[in-house]
Amino acid sequence: MTAMLPYGRQSIVEDDVAAVAEVLRGDWLTTGPQVQAFEDDLAGWTGGVGCAVVSNGTAALHTAYAAAGVGPGDEVVVPPMTFVATASSAVALGAKVVFADVEEETFTLDPAAAAAAVTSRTRVVSAVDYAGHPADYDALRQSLAGSDALLLADAAHSIGATYHGRPVGSLADLTTFSFFPTKNLTTAEGGAVAATDPAVLERARRFRNIGLVRDRAEQRWPDEGGWHQEVHEFGLNYRLPDVLCALGRSQLRRLGDFLAARERLVRRYDEALADLPGVLLPARRSGARPAWHLYPIRVLDGRRREVYDRMRAAGIGVQVNYIPVHWHPAFADLGYRRGSCPVAESFYEQQLSLPLYPGLTDPDQERVVDALAAALRGVPVRSAA
């Protein structure tokens, strides 16, 4: 029986296991020295922009929006081609989500659509680095001219990517990362918020820790003793424990190798699929170096479902990323309608992610290519059995 190839997979080595085991044998399992050390290590990939680590990627978005002051009456502009949490975490704070369409080719937030969506109530404009490709942040900055809105980069796919030589993490006012197992590095579950404004970063750190204020200089009431702490604004427990930060630090030391492996696999896909009829390959914007979390092809002529089913039956774990957010029933119940973002919706109807992860072998990648070609020809695909 040939194993099912997943579309993404973590890479764990003995150094990762040893890093976790060392913390398990120590005194700290929750918030301890590995947390600050992981945040410092992450700043080495964000151009020195400070980071706050949190329990997962959705928590990172929720924390970032809270740190930006998002609340009832505010609007948050979001592209629909993303995981639902980019929008739902803003709704959880009482904001209204305004969907803006994506660009052709890279399927990241269209600066013109973003500019048209911004109003006096806009608190945040959230770009998504779809598939690991940085959005056009220079143009997005221009689209916010005259607005007080903050620019957020949902970089769940793109840690380690660069845009005109500048690293993701330094391109927007706020940046969020995810360290889920299929991402470019993992802490099992985990995420982080980067903020260029130290005051916003401090609000993020406080929000992830229940809102607790321990600094006596900032406390409002007389000191009750060494245990004294206060909550001035509500937060949540989104802390990432020491044991997982140790795993993240170990993974981060291999991020450069992970990115290089993904880039090599993308080149091989590009070469193998260049002349295959019935599909379009992912594009790159000039000046961008993607992190390639996904390899998203477009299957033409209305055949995406057919090709998906054939490849899955052959043991190839293709995936679709993503159902447009405004199509989810929770948003439909709020009055959002299909047809409002035609570029994203058209892309969704064609999109198919091929397996891509550092441990994908050349023979396995060739198996993916052969299965795709057979599925497009409409001939039986070799079974996984």
pLDDT tens, residue by residue, 134-166? 999 999 999 999 999 999 999 999 999 999 999
Give 36-53 pLDDT, tens digit per residue.
999 999 999 999 999 999
Asked whether the CA dihedral 36, 37, 40, 42 is positive or negative, the reply is negative
pTM: 0.96
Give one DSSP letter per residue of 32-48, joined into a string: SHHHHHHHHHHHTTTTT
- Whether 380 shows a pLDDT value over 80: the answer reads no
Each residue's pLDDT tens digit, 168-216: 999 999 999 999 999 999 999 999 999 999 999 999 999 999 988 887 7
* Dist CA 80 CA 341 (whole Å): 8
Q: Rounded to an integer, what distance in angstroms lies between the CA atom of residue 79 and that of residue 110?
A: 8
Contact 266, 295 (CB under 8 A): yes
Helix (H) or strand (E) holding 309: helix 304-313
Residue 222 has pLDDT above 90, yes or no: no
Q: Tell me the C-alpha to C-alpha distance, in Å, between residue 287 and each of 112, 117, 153, 168, 310.
A: 19, 26, 17, 13, 37
- Which residue among the candidates 157, 183, 208, 310 is catalytic per the annotation? 183
Q: Does residue 372 register a pLDDT over 50?
A: yes
Residue 92 tokens, joined: 């959880």
pLDDT of residue 379: 67
| Residue whose token pair is 């590009």 | 270
Element (H, E) at 367: helix 362-377
Stated as kind and residue range, the H or E segment containing 295 is strand 295-299
Distance of CA 50 to the CA centre of its chain: 18
Half-sphere exposure of 331 (CA within 13 A, CB side): 25
Q: What is the pLDDT of residue 385?
A: 47
Q: Is the pLDDT of residue 221 over 90?
A: no
Place of tokens 């130290």: 198
Domain 255-377 belongs to what architecture?
A: Alpha-Beta Complex (3.90)
Predicted pLDDT of residue 3: 83
Distance CA 87, CA 341 (A): 15
Phi and psi for 26 in degrees, rounded to 5? -95, -160
Q: What pLDDT, in 10s, does the model give residues 104-138?
A: 999 999 999 999 999 999 999 999 999 999 999 99
* Residue recorded with tokens 């997982």: 244
Give the whole-angstrom CA distance, residue 255 versus residue 186.
10
Break the chain into its structural domains and give their ranges.
Answer: 14-249, 255-377
Give which of 319, 314, 261, 259 is closest to 289, Cα–Cα: 259
pLDDT-based confidence at 231, cuts 50/70/90? confident
Q: Please check whether residue 125 is in contact with residue 65, taking contact to mean a CB–CB distance below 8 angstroms.
A: no
| pLDDT for the residue numbered 166 | 98
Omega before residue 322 within 30° of 0, cis: yes
Cα gap 180→198, rounded to integer Å: 26
Are residues 247 and 187 in contact, defined by beta-carbon separation less than 8 angstroms? yes
- Domains 14-249 and 255-377 fall in the same CATH topology: no
- Please give the CATH topology (third level) of the domain spanning 14-249: Aspartate Aminotransferase; domain 2 (3.40.640)
Alpha-carbon distance of 108 to 129, in angstroms, equals 6
> What's the average model confidence in pLDDT over 287-314?
97
| Torsion, CA 336, CA 338, CA 344, CA 348, rounded to 10 | 120
The DSSP code sequence of 134-195 is: PP-HHHHHHHTTT--PEEEEE-TTTTT-EETTEETTSSSSEEEEE--TTSSS--SS-EEEEE
% pLDDT > 90, the chain: 90
Residue 96 appears among annotated catalytic residues = no
